[in-house]
Structure 1
């Protein structure tokens, strides 16, 4: 990876804030030091640098869990030295993983009888889960094409342009064409009708998103299933569906139990979900579940015995920690159906508080929908003077990390801000965020336009001069606020 060299990074060494107490000499920045240093010094040096990171609780860009109960934290730390792949040495951990797979499979209405074991595996997030599901679809399609004596070198997947980048990675890494349904104004998810039109004999699956990263909206998997059944009848194909439920898999069963998006639909052959999102576990855990054993080709499963016993494995990663698997099991049995429903309902209510607060300002259009992931995506009604990126940048002065981004083709002219409402984002924080957004809007109102129309003969200011003007105004703004109400 090429590192951009800022002023601080051009220094050849790192200086500890408490150097006089712990260590007298600076450390090299990009080389291992020749000598050891005291453990206190190593801790202090790293801790000082990490202070400049953002506050995870105020990182509203991320879907990833940033808080768990202290009891779960203890389990995480107690198992942090266990290698998940050593199934013979840690059989209980393996058993807990299998319980999680079965619980999630039943949550997604997998067609299992009482004696059947669900087919699935824990992964390092939904990215690995999607890679595994995609490989299974590719291999099944290739095997069928070989049996038919047809070419099998040009597989493709049909998705919406709103898919997460891991789908693009899968397509590029494993040589599968990605056919994307373009977005349009006011419709920021995959259109099922257009998706089915793009399906051909080389399509290994259609990927539907339950909870778009862009605006949280659920795609209509039921309509996609019905349209695809009709096309399969007409063509003789058997094109299946994968549901990327990374964000929505732990939401829909509790908020919308009647919504048909999962294994109740016959063409849905596999589902991935992120345990570290609304599964309420720290980063590093995902799950992929297959409808039946036949949907996972046996030749993709490896059997090893050099860790002590025969172990079937189908993962891209090998060694990984056990902590997140154990934490997932804790959350599933600790909260149960009732607990998850209460957490998700509370997130949805806090999202509504934020949405209504933004609407009262009269400054924003709400882009997100109410029947999806608990998040609020919004854009400026008037961006002739300032844009969403400036709002995002100025919110960081209050500690908030709120992303601004442009939509994918053909809606790339639309820019939005997005706030993901997680379990640790309370109603008080939602109300405070609205207050701070109003302050930022007042600040921007009082500043000259970011792209002003210059009169003839006028000299355009340099970016540095513009930044100095913003900084000067901000200092004045803060001082005036402190005088009027004592806070800013």
Structure 2
């Protein structure tokens, strides 16, 4: 996020530019500037107290039902993360065991996603699934460019097939790497790309098709197998080699455990790469993501830098350099701590809670879910179109915030922007007991609107990509 801070220049407003301590201590008798470096030092306890006081105004992360990001981990995992904050994961020569854990995680994910040959496991950790998407997008572009050069054709007009409900990172990728985004529209009641529309948008300049396993707006799994089968037919007829990339940021840690027979991964011929977020349903605090390729052939060698740094040569493919290794350690902890049984149990519990909330919302006769069956622990719902009420979803969101619940209200993407919806994401820290409390508050709010509709005003907002 970009920040532009405007200091007040009025003498009477000086207090707006300073922190005014109230602690009984000699070194806090003077105000502390907010926007410039203080001249002197203060006791670490007082600095801690000042910062902690400001952070009290943040929302409670456990009640944040807007974000997919993990907000709870076991004490043992937290301790491991604290122990390894100081390890720079890029320094593989100094921290070889952290590098080894990263490599093990890549192999575990490759196995989870059914790579044809385990010895060809290929991938890397990232700061999140957005960076992983960028890296996979670059590999798609480079591979397409090589194919076009082999045919003696121009390489100046690449395009990428993406849904209008795609996460914003893909729009960023297209803008930053000069790729034409070809948006396939969604529609009311059909919130994923139609297979025929996907194929219609493809041509010889298409670097790939992005299929979403867990859309931002509704949590739906797009029909990856249908896209694959259609591309198989299209590629055989045209001689093209248009691949599939699966954006499994949210669903990549759900489908293998709750719908293991669903074919969306490397079991499908044209799926060449997958991005997934470890800090979503991988159950790790932010930020860690993973980029996994079908095999080493799908990651062009000229994208990999071999850096002679800090004691040894190392291959690296990333948009940044230094970052802590503790998220990788925490990811590996989860893998060996939970195993398939543990992940299945936790995610099924999240689904049970989500289904309870969905059913409870529909029982109010005020709300309806946008999709009949949940694919992941996410409920997107709106006020029923066949009833007349004196409030909207933005008022509901604001009233829930008064009780501490952070539930976003927003409009759906192009072609269904008339739909104003609320979205609830269930994570491990959201217990069934908390779900009951949420529904009690929701029913209390509906009762309040019924009794005092004129006293409550609406403020419309937009969805933040999380």
Tell me if structure 2 keeps the 8 A contact 1:19–1:25.
no
| Local SS of the residue matching 1:110 | coil
Question: Shift of the alpha carbon at 1:385?
Answer: 2.2
Question: Shift of the alpha carbon at 1:241?
Answer: 0.2
Per the alignment, residue 377 of structure 2 pairs with 374
Structural RMSD (CA): 2.0
Match of 1:168 among 171, 177, 183: 171
Distance in 2 of aligned mates of 1:426 and 1:269:
37
1:128 pairs with 2:131:
yes
Per the alignment, residue 192 of structure 1 pairs with 195
Per the alignment, residue 463 of structure 2 pairs with none
Q: How many residues align?
A: 452
Question: Shift of the alpha carbon at 1:432?
Answer: 1.0
Distance in 2 of aligned mates of 1:196 and 1:117:
30
1:431 pairs with 2:429:
no
Per the alignment, residue 338 of structure 2 pairs with 335
Question: Shift of the alpha carbon at 1:424?
Answer: 1.0
Distance in 2 of aligned mates of 1:132 and 1:155:
16
Tell me if structure 2 keeps the 8 A contact 1:357–1:431.
no
Distance in 2 of aligned mates of 1:73 and 1:2:
30
Distance in 2 of aligned mates of 1:10 and 1:181:
52
| Local SS of the residue matching 1:396 | helix
1:34 pairs with 2:30:
no
Match of 1:70 among 42, 62, 75: 75
Tell me if structure 2 keeps the 8 A contact 1:102–1:117.
no
Distance in 1 of aligned mates of 2:187 and 2:78:
44
Q: Deviations over 1:352-396 (max 9, x none)?
A: 111111111111011145341111111111465211111001100
Per the alignment, residue 358 of structure 1 pairs with 361
Tell me if structure 2 keeps the 8 A contact 1:216–1:368.
no
| Local SS of the residue matching 1:76 | helix
Question: Shift of the alpha carbon at 1:246?
Answer: 0.3
Match of 2:144 among 123, 141, 145: 141
1:205 pairs with 2:221:
no
Per the alignment, residue 58 of structure 1 pairs with 63
- In structure 2, the CA distance between the partners of 1:22 and 1:369, relative to structure 1 (3 Å rule), is farther
Per the alignment, residue 301 of structure 1 pairs with 304
- In structure 2, the CA distance between the partners of 1:187 and 1:73, relative to structure 1 (3 Å rule), is same
Tell me if structure 1 keeps the 8 A contact 2:306–2:313.
yes
The answer for unaligned runs of 5 or more in structure 1 is 451-465, 471-488
Match of 2:397 among 381, 385, 392: 392
Per the alignment, residue 279 of structure 2 pairs with 276
- In structure 2, the CA distance between the partners of 1:258 and 1:415, relative to structure 1 (3 Å rule), is same
Per the alignment, residue 105 of structure 1 pairs with 110
Q: Deviations over 1:310-364 (max 9, x none)?
A: 1001111100000000000000000001100000111111111111111111110
Question: Shift of the alpha carbon at 1:19?
Answer: 5.7
Distance in 1 of aligned mates of 2:407 and 2:41:
40
Distance in 2 of aligned mates of 1:373 and 1:232:
32
Match of 1:118 among 121, 135, 147: 121
Question: Shift of the alpha carbon at 1:220?
Answer: 0.2
Per the alignment, residue 443 of structure 1 pairs with 448
Q: Deviations over 1:117-164 (max 9, x none)?
A: 410000000010000000001011111112212111111110111111
Per the alignment, residue 260 of structure 1 pairs with 263
- In structure 2, the CA distance between the partners of 1:436 and 1:86, relative to structure 1 (3 Å rule), is same
What pairs with 1:175-254 in structure 2 (closer than 5 Å)?
175-254=178-257
Question: Shift of the alpha carbon at 1:9?
Answer: 11
- In structure 2, the CA distance between the partners of 1:27 and 1:132, relative to structure 1 (3 Å rule), is same
Tell me if structure 1 keeps the 8 A contact 2:7–2:17.
no
Question: Shift of the alpha carbon at 1:88?
Answer: 0.4
- In structure 2, the CA distance between the partners of 1:234 and 1:117, relative to structure 1 (3 Å rule), is closer
| Local SS of the residue matching 1:310 | strand
Per the alignment, residue 416 of structure 2 pairs with 411
Q: Deviations over 1:62-88 (max 9, x none)?
A: 111111111111110010000000000
Tell me if structure 2 keeps the 8 A contact 1:17–1:45.
no
Question: Shift of the alpha carbon at 1:448?
Answer: 3.8
Tell me if structure 2 keeps the 8 A contact 1:386–1:449.
no
Distance in 2 of aligned mates of 1:9 and 1:298:
57
Tell me if structure 1 keeps the 8 A contact 2:189–2:371.
no
Distance in 2 of aligned mates of 1:412 and 1:94:
45
Say which one has the larger Rg.
Answer: 1
Distance in 2 of aligned mates of 1:290 and 1:9:
55
Per the alignment, residue 464 of structure 2 pairs with none
When structure 1 is superposed on structure 2, of 320-329 and 3-12 the one drifting more is 3-12
Tell me if structure 2 keeps the 8 A contact 1:54–1:399.
yes
Distance in 1 of aligned mates of 2:88 and 2:167:
29
Tell me if structure 1 keeps the 8 A contact 2:113–2:266.
yes
Distance in 2 of aligned mates of 1:383 and 1:111:
55
Tell me if structure 1 keeps the 8 A contact 2:355–2:374.
no
Per the alignment, residue 321 of structure 1 pairs with 324
- In structure 2, the CA distance between the partners of 1:6 and 1:424, relative to structure 1 (3 Å rule), is farther
Per the alignment, residue 95 of structure 2 pairs with 90
